[in-house]
Structure 1
Amino acid sequence: MATMTTSARPERGWQRPEAERLLTGATVVTFVRTVVSVGLGLYAAYDRSLTLLLVALAVYWVGDMADGALARLTDTETRIGAVFDIVSDRLCAGTFYVGLVWLEPAMALPVGVFLLEFAVVDTFVSLAFLAWPLRSPNYFYLVDRPIWLANWSKPGKAANSSAVALLMVVTHSVPLCTAVALCLLAVKIWSLVRLNRLGLPLPRADEAPSDLSDAGEPSDGRAKRAA
């Protein structure tokens, strides 16, 4: 398993405490796309318009790509921005899927499984990067490559953000969509188990913040290798 090293640490990917702030161009994009997507999704449910609901989903997806690209382009990736993006994603996705069930009640089962996966298990997995001095989960390969491949590589992201939504809209197949949602849930549970085996090196109360930011890992070496 890939574990952090304290030498020759690359600049990109590791946290920069001095650069942390809430207000950046990227977080503004995150806020705007969230407000627009959620607003459109709620109105789509009120108007019973699947077309408008899909527009809300598109705003969420395009905005999610845009805020990340802007953060990288302007070198303003921050842990604060990453957390803001993660929680905003859950609100946008939740609005879309609840709206979809409002329009198509038969999809309640696959939507329920997916929301358990995305809003609960995946939220914890996504926030686990905070246990290490990383800027965002996009750089989790610096800690563990298999978890990163399953969750934040391009295929991993596409499967988690697009697969179920597209299948629901295109096929309307409850068994197929439920099966795919269960597969995604299994991947997230595997990631959670692997995280538990890896260990979350959270700082102790007697550790100064510099123990993490300067050394790259806790002073007592709690970043363990999974068996």
Structure 2
Amino acid sequence: MTLPTLITFARTAASLALAMLGAYQHSLPLLLGGLGTYWIGDMADGAVARLTNRETRIGATLDIVCDRLCAAAFYLGFAWYDPSMVVPVGIYLAEFMVIDTFLSMAFLAWPLSSPNYFYLVDRRLWLWNWSKPGKAVNSALFAVLMVLTRDPWLAGAIATMLLTLKVLSTVRLSRLGLPVPRGCLQPVQKSELA
């Protein structure tokens, strides 16, 4: 197991524990601690992977999955803490947990080690989704404005904007076409066994 993978597991466990405890205790500081742990840990595991030349496709995939668990724990905890945010959180989670997961996993269709290098396939998709500004908008904008303003209409509008961006990204990705890898194992047909 690599150091970046250990960081991914540690930040996920810590973020999940803080967010769950925050929801249980109805504590905004604990919820925010969970979110901060997720964000800082996510930057740390990626930075360590790049600095130590340990970027792997399986590590990137694990990171994407762990990001979703950390985000879901925070956002569901926050909706529990402030029920006026249930609808915006629902929109955001549909976007992040389903559409963004599909987009983030699309790098696996090409010989890329992570979505960070998707500019080699399509620069616009990379700019919208995985460039540093794209990641900031996709990950931080909704959370920060939701927590600071507590305005469900603003949060809902931002979540809807992000959902629209992800739908447009999915349309663009589908127009690119996902390559079908060769050499995948195929089940043996019964007629071939005889």
CA distance in 2, matches of 1:36, 1:159: 24
Name the counterpart of 1:155.
Answer: 133
* Pairing 1:41-190 to 2, within 5 Å after superposition: 41-190=19-168
| CA 63–168 in structure 1, closer or farther in 2 if over 3 Å, else same | same
Superposition deviation, residue 49 in structure 1: 0.3
RMSD over aligned Cα atoms? 1.1
Residue number among 189, 196, 199 corresponding to 2:174 in the alignment: 196
* SS across alignment from 2:55: coil
5+ long unaligned stretches in structure 1? 1-22, 208-227
Runs of 4+ aligned structure 1 residues displaced above 3 Å come to 204-207
Equivalent position to 1:31, from 5, 9, 12: 9
Amino acid at match of 1:67: D
- Could you tell me which residue of structure 1 aligns to residue 192 of structure 2? none
Which secondary structure state, in structure 2, belongs to the residue aligned with residue 134 of structure 1? coil
3-state SS of paired residue (1:200): coil
* Change beyond 3 A, Cα 1:108–1:202: same
SS in 1 for 2:178: coil
CA-CA distance at 1:179 after TM superposition: 0.5
Which structure shows the higher helix fraction? Answer: 2
Deviation of 1:38 (Å): 0.1
Structure 1 residue aligned with 2:188: none
Q: Give the 3-state SS of the residue equivalent to 1:61 in structure 2.
A: helix
> Do the aligned residues in 2 keep the contact of 1:132 with 1:202 (CA within 8 Å)?
no
1:198-217, aligned counterparts within 5 Å? 198-205=176-183
SS at match of 2:54: coil
TM-score by length of 2: 0.93
TM norm structure 1: 0.80
Is the 1:41–1:52 Cα contact (8 Å) retained in structure 2? yes
AA of the residue aligned to 2:101? T
Matches of 1:61 and 1:92, distance apart in 2: 9
Where does the alignment leave 5 or more consecutive residues of structure 2 unmatched? 186-194
Q: Which has the higher contact order (CA 8 A, sep 6+)?
A: 1
SS of structure 2 residue aligned to 1:57: helix
The answer to whether the 8 A contact 1:117-1:185 is kept is: yes
Deviations 1:2-42 (A, max 9, x none): xxxxxxxxxxxxxxxxxxxxx21101000000000001110
Alpha-carbon shift at residue 202 of structure 1 (Å)? 1.8
